[in-house]
Amino acid sequence: MQTLLQDLRFGARMLLKQPSFTLIAVLTLSLGIGANTAIFSVVNAVLLRPLPFKEPERLVMIHETNLPRFSEFSVASGNFLDWQKQNTTFERLIAIGGTVNILTGADEPKRLMGARVSDGFFATLGVAPQLGRTFLPEEDQSGRGNIVVLSHGLWQRAFGGNPAVVNQTITLDGQSQTVIGVMPAGFYFVSREVDLWKPMAFTPQETQDHGGHSFFVFGQRKPNVTLAQAGADLSVIAQRLTEKYPETNAGWNVKLMPMQEYTVREIKPALWVLLAAVGCVLLIACVNVANLLLARAAGRQKELAIRAALGAGRSRLVRQLLTESLLLALAGGALGLLLAGWGVDLLLSLAPANLPRISEVSLDSRVLLFTAATALLTGLLFGLLPAWQAARPHVNETLKEGGRGSTASRELTRSALVVLEVASALVLLVTAGLMMKSFWRLLQVNPGFTTDHALTLSVFCPKVGTPVPLGPATVEAAMLSVLVSSPEKNTHPTPVVGVQG
């Protein structure tokens, strides 16, 4: 320990004696480590961290499939109910159906995205409400669905965060609904756009519907049941349904996917590619610093030769030089962590709204451990070869004035590092070029119609017969938004109006 402290003190003094070299090396490393830390924080939150639900490894997303037409499709309500009754591998199967609701009672009606959920939805996910309660089993019955649970976002926007909203009635689609609970901030399942949840309460028609594929289904596997076993169980049931309902179920089967994989499958390849790209940046930084260390070592040959002549072994010299490299790496890691904090904020501001789990991105303990490990590995990576080369001084030749005993060896090593640096930069350049080319092609996809100066306006109408105060102010505001958003040079914009209801 005493020797290590001595090496650290000596290494720090040597680095402080050359502030320009130290500053350049630390900045170079901090950029590489900071970029890797920022991207890894996203990879960690989105891909590596378990889903924030109870026993997420047991959660499975279930689709119906009809190859080769549909590799994944939503589930028919009648099939879901038969799966519930006949399966032996799931503790719970949950169905989710999307809704569009109109909230009235304020100055202007509000369009809300809702979800109908079957019994056990919140219990399966293991998430408790912030206020009130969630649905009881007996409330998931036809005719008893006039209750809602609000999202935290809707509670804040529409009700000002007033806790007295629980047990109050609100008007959705012209019908009175009782608010029984409010979910905590950050809770969402599959979609962050859901504003409220209602009991599924299947109608008699839905219980017999085996052809209308309208619901998402997920399940919680029983302990010690594998994904393959659960898939085989549901496949057997699907075959029975095909025999019983050939008109609607012929050719349909099931497809299971772990919930973690389903959540991130679209963004997963892009994040790994991005992490590999910034890994190349760190590799280039390491090669640059290694070249700097080789150049610096050339001016320390006499110092090292004198230490060798006084009895310092090669391992002792390598240890001293590696200590200096690790000090540089740790300083670069500390500065890189600071840069990573800014980088994470930048990534969050630029991230698309549909990026899953983006709200969970942070510099947590795993990210800090990654940064420390990256800094130590980086110090060894760029410091070992220069230290090995510099710790082989030809004592006699070096101590003679003008001695050049190991110059050829060092030049050969530096040349190899330069080749590695150029090759890494070329790989990174080609990768970035291909990614930009793909991105540009996606932007240039021809939709099949002229899009110049064409705008869209969606109007969602409630159910027929529901009185909603859709007054002139609402229509005027909607049309005004179309006119304001149109290009200035287009004095006669062409709105494309989609009516849904």
Tell me the pLDDT tens digit for each residue of 390-435: 555 555 555 555 444 445 555 665 566 667 667 766 776 676 667 6
Amino acid type, 226: T
Q: Quick: pLDDT tens for 222-234.
A: 999 999 999 999 9
CA atoms within 13 A on the CB side of 205: 1
**Mean pLDDT, all residues of the chain:** 78
pLDDT of 36 > 50? The answer is yes
Residue showing tokens 């009809």: 66
Q: Who wins on pLDDT, 386 or 331?
A: 331
218, β-bridge pairs = 61, 94
pLDDT higher than threshold 60 for residue 454: yes
Q: In 74-144, which ranges are E strands? A: 75-76, 90-104, 110-117, 131-132
Q: Please, which pLDDT band fits residue 75 given cuts at 50, 70 and 90?
A: very high
484 pLDDT tier (thresholds 50, 70, 90): very low
Contact between 94 and 218 (Cβ < 8 Å): yes
Question: Measured in whole angstroms, how far is the alpha carbon of residue 16 from the centre of its chain?
Answer: 41
297-302 average pLDDT score: 62
* CA gap 27, 333 in Å, rounded: 10
Residue whose C-alpha is closest to residue 237's, from 120, 58, 75: 75
Per-residue model confidence (pLDDT) at position 476: 40
